[in-house]
Structure 1
Amino acid sequence: MKESVILLHGMGRSRLSMALLAARLRKQGFATLNVGYPSTRQTIERLSDKYLAPAIAKCKAKGAERIHLVTHSLGGIISRYYLQGHRLPKGSRIVMLSPPNKGSEVTDAMKSRWLYQVMLGPAGQVLGTDDDSLPNRLKTVEEEVGIITGDRSSDPWFEKLFPGANDGKVSVERSQLDEMVDFLVVNTGHTFIMNSMAVMKQVVYFLQHGSFDRDKKIKA
């Protein structure tokens, strides 16, 4: 069976941030499409339509029978938005790394500041924790979703914004989805979680088996 993996980086990053993970997936036999997109210049709706939708169409055109998604941070919200009106091929799976699935306290604190608005653009304005934020308005995803997040802050200057464990940008609690089929917390920060060898192994395992490997000792 031909399986493809689409990788989506996070806010303010580029496809280079997912390059090591893409290489690991190719080594395990997956075809990969590492998508770059202007995360700070367009809305989540536009990013989904202009970048993720064509990537999925490209994989289908190449004969992929399963199309998995592996995302970091904002990439997970873009994927969830796409899946509001679409489905992936049967058997496709999704791994989200540090997604702000229920919003981020950082957005709550910073979105009114001019510099934050300029640097992070329209997508950065809608990732708050309130009930009306875009992530909190999205419906359930029907595909199998596994989520990995960190509990070591990579941005200690934001530490006071969080009531509990967090990775510097997203709290452990707010990374989760009710419909997720598996969940892991690793001792790493938000920015480089995708480069952790333990995380890369768990991404591969979830795509192959639909769960994380509980027999391995997880070390970031």
Structure 2
Amino acid sequence: MSDRGGILLLHGHGRLGASMVRLARAARRAGYATLSPNYPYRRPLEDIVDWLAPRVAAFEAGFTGPLHIITHSLGGLVARALIAARPPQRLGRVVMLAPPNKGSELADLLFRLRLARLVLGGAGPILRTGRMAADEAALGSIIYPLGIIAGDRPLFPLPLPLLPRPHDGKVSIASTHVAGLADHLTLPVTHTLMVYDRRVIAAALAFLKDGAF
């Protein structure tokens, strides 16, 4: 049993739970239990929540402290929907890494090219900048301690006029913001690789401990 609590780690679109391995290792060294599931990221958001909820409940039953959440990219939207629809009993603090809280212009482009279903699957609608009202409502309001870490270094130094600057190559810093957040931090990291960055990991664990970066 972990008195310090546990951390649910939710990966991004196109990734697996193993992509959060460095975060998980650091969390366990800090005394947390961890769960990093391979959730079905190509399914609609409601299906993802239904898949996750019983697994999160079983995980939470294995320790006595709060359940914190750290997410990457799409995982942030999944966490918001999970908390809104099937909230953990002892929810603690939440850290989102590069969450497309206001959507991504790259997803918009895929819809215009009629490639969204192929590339994004059923999760596509929630990644658009112009979400349907029902999709936005499913994300709920931020009524829990939330810290967000954004990056401002694209992986490839090529101009992406579709993305408002500054951005991390996939999500603009402006898009990461959401009403109700407690703290926001920008680091010189890229979208894809930020989950492996020591500065990101240290900042995420600091927020879980102190409620600030």
TM (normalized to structure 2)?
0.91
The CA distance in 1 between the partners of 2:80 and 2:24, in whole Å, is 21
The CA distance in 2 between the partners of 1:106 and 1:134, in whole Å, is 21
Q: Name the % identity.
A: 35
The CA distance in 2 between the partners of 1:105 and 1:116, in whole Å, is 12
Q: Please tell me the root mean square deviation across aligned C-alpha atoms, in Å.
A: 1.9
Moved over 6 A (4+): none
Match of 2:35 in 1: 33
Q: How does 1:30-179 map to 2 (within 5 A)?
A: 30-40=32-42, 42-51=43-52, 53-90=53-90, 92-132=92-132, 136-137=136-137, 138-154=139-155, 159-179=160-180
Letter in 2 for 1:15: G
The CA distance in 2 between the partners of 1:141 and 1:86, in whole Å, is 14
Is contact 1:76–1:96 with CA below 8 Å preserved after alignment? yes
What displacement does 1:90 show?
4.7
The CA distance in 2 between the partners of 1:14 and 1:134, in whole Å, is 27
Is contact 1:155–1:169 with CA below 8 Å preserved after alignment? no
What displacement does 1:124 show?
2.2
The CA distance in 2 between the partners of 1:34 and 1:85, in whole Å, is 20
The CA distance in 1 between the partners of 2:133 and 2:127, in whole Å, is 6
The size of the alignment, in residue pairs, is 210
Is contact 1:9–1:73 with CA below 8 Å preserved after alignment? yes
Deviations 1:75-100 (A, max 9, x none): 10011111223433456010000000
Per the alignment, do residues 65 and 26 of structure 1 end up closer, same or farther by CA in structure 2, a change over 3 Å counting? same
Runs of at least 5 residues in structure 1 that lack an aligned partner in the other structure: 213-220
The CA distance in 1 between the partners of 2:200 and 2:180, in whole Å, is 21
TM (normalized to structure 1)?
0.88
Is contact 2:6–2:63 with CA below 8 Å preserved after alignment? no
Match of 1:202 in 2: 203
What displacement does 1:68 show?
0.5
Counterpart secondary structure, 2:160:
helix
Letter in 1 for 2:16: S
Counterpart secondary structure, 2:84:
coil
Is contact 2:100–2:171 with CA below 8 Å preserved after alignment? yes
The CA distance in 2 between the partners of 1:61 and 1:204, in whole Å, is 22
